[in-house]
A and B are shown apart, each in its own frame.
Chain A
């Protein structure tokens, strides 16, 4: 699976927006999707996200992630459809278990739930693929007053994903080169074939975490009076986008209540 959660520098107009704007965008989409309960508006919201992905030239990555998400969404919908208690019963697969019946409202609820999940994940993927980690840290620190250390550690965790994936690839290669077959047999055998990958990975990651702390502090991490290389200020476009986003959230709240 190739779900990309790395920053993809394409230099699109979306990339040029301030990190704060894009963070607010992701949070606004989250809020709005929570407020919407009908499948149609959620679907519209979802398609507009895909539109933005195209504008940001990250469609390929987002679509491949969406493909992966579809399965999860399907299960989520199915679960809701079968366990949603209210509404007119359309169909009961096991008559002796009335709890397991399918209702009209259940179908709508299930589909909405799945769409909502897709919308939220997609909006955060959009945020991550179009915003460098460093800009996120800076906007968290500067505008949302998150202490630098926490913001940095949080983002460092994110930054380790590519390194981690690279590590997984290398360890996999090293074991395959010793004739290890990762594809073997049934589920239990499969689980066992993972050990040669998982164990070195855990050991390397633990080691790495220790060394990171050392590498950071010996370069002055934690000293007072930190300065920032390349701080970006939100521009006029950012202000406009933020205002539009906040109005959209307000509208959604008004519509709902």
Chain B
């Protein structure tokens, strides 16, 4: 299973005075589920583009440092920049932040088949894989629809299904649920979680919806102006509400409740040894509250 090592990565878009990423170091283990968040313009998309090879294969700019794809080939690690984009598609699946721009086929099922055909999947398997990907994204009923006639959220689901069908080892997703309804968001995140847990697929996702992702992920990375401001397991990261406030990222409600309970004097400070763990879900927040009553 390949993992990713980012070393001293600095990237500037052409004609931009300040770099969009500045000396970023990050190691992503195979099988990890990692969430990247931060205000708009913090550099989330840029970081993902460096991982999935869009930088430098499609996006010009000045790139320093390296993104290594470890154990992808028998010969050890290779820089992403040296693997051609179609070759990378064998390891990494990418969902971009603009779902309309990534649909290339006139009919939904052809869109899902496109990547399967390119990567040489046996046609006998295609029907099953297409059906599964569509079902996972809750759009089986759209299979024969024209892609140009779909609503915004429906297009986004098609874009995700097309990448899920490829079953890549690493999934890189840039705000994939921005236009999805809560049901669709939950369904897609659940599929990602299962791929991660049951098949060891590495998930790297940029999202604003931290509340929904916190219970699912191993690690949360907060970016601020191209640098990593804070990273760690969600419960650790949520210890620092003031950093969230400073970066303009919303602290999830369950964690906020814990901090408010400390303020109200009914919980000991969260970093003290007898403090309960910070709740990540409504369920956990509810249990914590019950214990106080």
Chain B's closest residue to A155 (CB) is B106
Interfacial chain B residues near A212, Cβ < 8 Å: 101-102, 104
List of A residues within 8 angstroms of B89 by Cβ? 217-220, 223
Chain B residues positioned under 8 Å from A217 (CB to CB): 57-58, 85-86, 89
> Assuming the A-B contacts A207-B101, A208-B101, A211-B96, are A226 and B57 also in contact, with contact meaning beta carbons closer than 8 angstroms in the complex?
no
**Which of B109-117, B181-189, B283-291 is the contact stretch?**
B109-117
How many positions in chain A have a CB within 8 Å of any CB in the partner chain? 34
CB within 8 Å of B: which of A199-219? Answer: 207-208, 210-219
Verify A219–B162 contact, CB threshold 8 A.
yes
Decide yes or no whether A99 CB sits under 8 A from chain B. Answer: no
Q: Which of B101, B110, B113 contacts A215, CB < 8 Å?
A: B101
- From the candidates A163, A208, A228, name the one contacting B117 in the complex (CB within 8 A): A228
Binary contact readout A8-32 vs B (1 if CB under 8 angstroms, 0 otherwise): 0100000000000000000000000
- Give Cα A132 to B106, complex, Å: 9
Within 8 A of A (CB), among B127-186: 130, 144, 146-149, 162-163, 166
- Chain B residue numbers with a CB within 8 Å of A51 are none
- A230 located at the interface, meaning its Cβ lies under 8 Å from any Cβ of chain B in the complex: yes
User: From residue A56, how far is it (CB to closest CB) to chain B in Å?
Assistant: 18
* CB contact list, B52-86 vs A, under 8 A: 52-54, 57-58, 85-86
Q: What is the bound-complex CA distance between A9 and B147, given in angstroms?
A: 14
- A229 surroundings in chain B (CB, below 8 A): 110, 113, 116-117, 123, 126, 130
Looking at the assembled complex, report how far the CB atom of B127 sits from the nearest CB atom of chain A, in whole angstroms.
8
Residues in chain B near residue A166, CB distance under 8 A? 148-149
Q: Does A219 contact B163, Cβ atoms closer than 8 Å?
A: yes
**Contact partners of A88 in chain B: CB under 8 A:** none
A87 to chain B, nearest CB (A): 48
B94: chain A residues within 8 A (beta carbon) = 218
A133/B106 contact (C-beta < 8 A), A212-B101, A219-B89, A227-B122 known: yes
Cβ of B18 within 8 Å of any chain A Cβ, yes or no, is no
Please measure, in the bound complex, the distance between the C-alpha atom of A214 and the C-alpha atom of B85, giving whole angstroms: 8
**A215 close to B148 (CB less than 8 A):** no
Of listed A132, A156, A214, residue having the most chain B CB within 10 A: A214
A210 to B57, CA, bound (A): 12
Most chain-B CB neighbours within 10 Å: which of A7, A163, A217? A217
B119 lies within 8 A of A220 (CB): yes
Q: Are the C-beta atoms of A219 and B118 separated by less than 8 Å? A: yes
- Indicate whether B273 reaches chain A with its CB closer than 8 angstroms: no
On A, residues with C-beta under 8 Å from B are 6-7, 9, 132-134, 156, 159, 162-163, 166, 207-208, 210-223, 225-231
B residues at A contact (CB < 8 Å): 52-54, 57-58, 85-90, 92-94, 96, 98, 101-107, 110, 113-123, 126, 130, 144, 146-149, 162-163, 166
6 inter-chain pairs at a CB distance below 8 angstroms, sorted by A residue, are A212-B101, A218-B88, A220-B119, A221-B114, A225-B120, A230-B126
